[in-house]
Amino acid sequence: MPCFVGGNKRLVESNMCFSTSFSKDPSTCSKINPQFPSQAPASFCSPILPGLPDDVAKYCLALVPRSCFPAMGAVCNQWRSFIQSKEFLTVRKQAGRLEEWIYVLTGNDEGKGTHWEVLGHKHQLIPQMPGPSKAGFGVVVLNGKLLVISGKLVDEMTRCASADVYQYDSCLNRWNKLANMNVARYDFACAEVDGMVYAVGGYGTDGESLSSAEVYDPDNNQWTLIESLRRPRWGCFAFGFENKLYVMGGRSSFTIGNSKFVDIYNPKQQTWGEMKNGCVMVTAHAVLGKKLFSMEWKNQRKLAIFNAVDNSWKMVPVPLAGSTRIGFRFGILDGKLLLFSLEEEPGYRTLLFDPDAAPGSEWQTSAIKPPGGCLFSVTIEA
């Protein structure tokens, strides 16, 4: 199971704010919550860039390379508030300046601890996540930020479930703690749907299987319980498609062995439905476009591709080029699927699958690879 090693490293922030003149009243600059953008009216703060309308100034800031964001956030509260807001990503997208970075959770050579890092950007050091070491946690990307949700504490004193949630801001390169979940859980399913984060099933504090589900609203920093699953479910995974939440894989108390049932939650109707057409014992999964790519433990040399439009499956053999071993973690970059091997071997190269390539040329190899065993991989646009 993947785990984190806790830490308390913090970034030093500057409270300086640029303006055409110095103000004796510090309240003229907005004070921000470390978790959310400032809600103070723009009229109470000096211009973002003196001499320019704020909309033009925001566009100028959005043109700066992503690697400079942490330094920009240290200039003043106003810049920092804008950089960590949804609006900043929107302006970056309109300007065609969004950059995809792959973040991986890897273990060290001795197998003692793990850490997040950015592939291909060695200058970008990720602070150690705060809190105790955990396993069985969930990972979701939301608005340019990485959420690490709940999990099981793995220290020597206790192995109980946690309700803690931590957020990594990829723009400001720092962690902060969010509101706790209502139910502590591990080995559960989680995913983002329409800007909301859902957590479903798993094991509870006493190791009991759970059917409960809850949703996180980032605007209010609040978790709310929703209708429970029809049956307890654990070891499962989730993904969002066309405004619905799909929960697949894992085990259910109502089935013998691994479950093929797919639980589908409709947020608008606030109800669960189901279909019996899922995959079981999934070791890796990723959503690319309108399709789910997964790999099952029983057959790790084939990609199982699920088309949620017509609920159909397609099996694609994985070539021996790149890695002869079985067991992968998936990454996504530039509309392509990366297969990171779980084990190192001489001459290993990452496999790359291009779903838009001509038949027969979908598979290639890539020089991109984690510096160790890959436990998690996420792609964050900012």
- Which DSSP string corresponds to 63-82? TS-GGGHHHHHTT-HHHHHH
Q: What pLDDT is recorded for position 27?
A: 33
Q: For position 320, what pLDDT does the model report?
A: 72
Beta strands at 282-288 and 271-276: parallel, antiparallel or unpaired: unpaired
d(CA 347, CA 254): 45
pLDDT at residue 121, rounded to an integer:
78
* Placement of tokens 């090693």 in the chain: 5
pLDDT at site 80: 95
Instruction: Give me the residues of the chain with pLDDT under 70, please.
Output: 1-45, 108-112, 123, 156-159, 254-257, 321-326, 344-346
By DSSP bridging, strand 114-118 and strand 100-107 are antiparallel
What pLDDT score does 379 carry? 96
Task: Give pLDDT, residue 89.
Answer: 96
pLDDT score recorded for residue 5 = 35
Q: What is the pLDDT, as a whole number, of residue 256?
A: 57
Are the C-beta atoms of residues 307 and 290 closer than 8 Å to each other? Answer: yes
**Long-range contacts at 157-161 (CB < 8 A, ≥ 24 apart):** 160/184, 160/205, 161/185, 161/186, 161/202, 161/203, 161/204, 161/205
pLDDT at 311: 86
- pTM for this prediction: 0.84
CA distance 233 to 209: 7
